[in-house]
């Protein structure tokens, strides 16, 4: 994963600059290099190119997340419960190389960068993040999942620290070739050395469940129903979707905002990703563990949302590059939000549902991530374009993002602080619903407690056998 992300992010610093120059040159009689002009002296074509680039990116995100990924991610999660994680992990790596190939053809042969956007849309439907989280959930005990999910994000942070740090100072063609070669190497390594994480018993349980009534396209997409299983899941989904709207909406325009307001260069853009990667690495490898130990998953979620609120406020009124980088460092604290939500939900579902819950989470997040860019792109265009009647204020989208995060924070504070302990699953076990098929909870302590209560009420569960099955699962990890 580290190799994959490091190579993938080699092109992050150069892509926004290529996009700005491409759209500016389309509306100018001569080719433009917008980076050469100070923010207040850039030609009108360069100023409008920022919003044009954001609009194209936002519609790509909508197609990718709200349409393709929202429909496919839950099904892919369910399929991975039956067929294993590794095939889908390899597929997601392979599809990611599509937009790198478009960049290569643009730099080498002048291919229109408009082809970049359909390639990017397809990538969003096959997320390596989903498979990575499901892979981890297969192997880890519930009490370790949030921290381990954080380590997955940390591998992304290290990759973001390495990739842009190199890509921002390489010739664009070298960066693109490095990205393509590195992704190919990551695919080969995964195919040869990474084992399948899902046990045969877990695959069989998922197959039985799907054979019982969740077959076909519509049936597998119905896996999204898991997100409305309880008031807890509904609240978590609201927090997830609101944070997804803000995160993806602002991510699509962040670099363009920095370019138009603060005059960021390619090297400055590389520093943006280095700051994100460095702070994310510290947070996910060191700080997240201590936060979970001291606060628990629910309060960690609240902490992450508060950090995001502060970030939006500072960015809206950032007057110089130092303020911008400080806001990014604060915003990196928001990285704890998704691991906390993923852990709470993973600890409240059964072992054979891990792929389903992660796929459904990603599907819901993808819907929000598709809608967010459209909203924020419209705001950014309204407050930056020369032909808009609105006053010039590039920071307007960040104030709207702050308002949405305040709503998410209001929902999060109503969640039971003990939710991360798997309370919902224990309540199900103690209810003794005879219509439910025998199910294996996802962790040792939870299994022992749930099995004892269910055995007392029904007399049909063998607690010793259940504990042995769970011990065997943990031995595989």
Domain boundaries of the chain, sorted by first residue: 2-198+216-343+351-421, 440-477
pLDDT of 261 above 70: yes
Q: DSSP class of residue 155?
A: H
Cβ atoms within 10 Å of 237's Cβ, excluding its own: 22
> Which fold is adopted by the domain 2-198+216-343+351-421?
Growth Hormone; Chain: A; (1.20.1250)
Output 453 or 108, whichever has higher pLDDT.
108
Model confidence at 173, in pLDDT bands (50, 70, 90)? very high
Among 214-228, 232-246, 380-394, 450-464, whose mean pLDDT is lowest?
450-464
Please give the Cα distance from 64 to 93 (Å, whole number): 16
pLDDT of 330 above 50: yes
pLDDT of 38 above 90: no
pLDDT at 431: 52
pLDDT at 352: 65
Task: Give the closest residue to 412 by CA, choosing from 230, 246, 247, 238.
Answer: 238
The pair phi, psi for residue 350, each rounded to 5°, is -90, 165
Cα–Cα separations (whole angstroms), residue 374 to 51, 63, 199, 253, 357: 12, 10, 41, 11, 27
pLDDT at 179: 92
pLDDT at 278: 84
Model confidence over 220-249: pLDDT tens digits? 455 567 777 778 888 888 898 899 899 888
pLDDT of 425 above 70: no
Model confidence at 358, in pLDDT bands (50, 70, 90)? low
* CB proximity list for 390: less than 8 A, separation 6 or greater: 382, 383
Rounded to two decimals, the pTM is 0.71
């Amino acid at each position: 994963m580290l190799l994959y992300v490091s190579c993938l992010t080699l092109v992050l610093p150069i892509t926004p600059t290529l996009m700005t120059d491409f759209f500016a040159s389309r509306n100018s009689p001569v080719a433009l290099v917008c980076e050469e002009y100070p923010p207040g002296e850039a030609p009108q074509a360069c100023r409008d190119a920022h919003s044009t680039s954001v609009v194209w990116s936002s519609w790509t995100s909508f197609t990718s997340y709200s349409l393709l990924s929202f429909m496919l991610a839950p099904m892919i999660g369910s399929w991975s419960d039956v067929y294993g994680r590794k095939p889908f992990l390899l597929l997601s790596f392979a599809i990611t190389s599509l937009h790198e190939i478009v960049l290569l053809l643009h730099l080498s042969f002048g291919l229109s960068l408009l082809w970049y956007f359909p390639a990017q849309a397809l990538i969003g439907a096959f997320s390596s993040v989903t498979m990575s989280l499901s892979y981890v959930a297969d192997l880890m005990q519930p009490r370790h999942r949030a921290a381990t999910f954080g380590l997955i994000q940390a591998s992304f942070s290290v990759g973001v620290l390495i990739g842009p740090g190199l890509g921002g100072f390489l010739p664009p063609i070298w960066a693109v070739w490095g990205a393509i070669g590195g992704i190919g190497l990551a695919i080969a390594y995964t195919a040869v050395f990474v084992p399948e994480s899902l046990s045969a018993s877990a695959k069989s349980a998922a197959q039985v469940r799907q054979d019982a009534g969740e077959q076909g396209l519509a049936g597998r997409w119905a896996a999204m129903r898991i997100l409305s299983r309880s008031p807890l899941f509904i609240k978590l989904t609201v927090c997830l979707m609101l944070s997804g709207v803000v995160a993806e909406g602002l991510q699509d325009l962040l670099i363009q905002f920095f370019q138009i307001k603060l005059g960021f260069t390619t090297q400055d853009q590389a520093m943006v990703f280095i700051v994100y990667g460095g702070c994310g690495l510290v947070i996910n490898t060191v700080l997240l563990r201590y936060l979970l130990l001291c606060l628990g998953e629910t309060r960690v979620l609240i902490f992450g949302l508060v950090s995001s609120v502060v970030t939006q406020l500072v960015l809206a009124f950032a007057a110089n590059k130092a303020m911008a980088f400080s806001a990014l460092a604060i915003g990196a604290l928001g990285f704890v939000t998704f691991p906390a939500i993923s852990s709470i939900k993973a600890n409240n579902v059964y072992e054979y549902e891990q792929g389903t819950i992660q796929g459904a989470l990603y599907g819901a997040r993808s819907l929000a991530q598709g809608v967010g860019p459209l909203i924020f792109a419209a705001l950014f265009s309204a407050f930056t374009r020369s032909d808009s009647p609105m006053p010039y204020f590039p920071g307007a989208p960040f104030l709207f993002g702050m308002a949405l995060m305040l709503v998410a924070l209001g929902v999060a504070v109503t969640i039971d602080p003990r939710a991360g302990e798997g309370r919902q699953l224990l309540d199900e076990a103690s209810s003794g619903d005879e219509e439910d098929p025998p199910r294996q909870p996802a962790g040792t302590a939870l299994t022992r407690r749930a099995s004892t209560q269910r055995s007392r009420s029904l007399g049909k569960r063998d607690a010793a056998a259940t504990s042995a099955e769970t011990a065997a699962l943990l031995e595989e990890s």
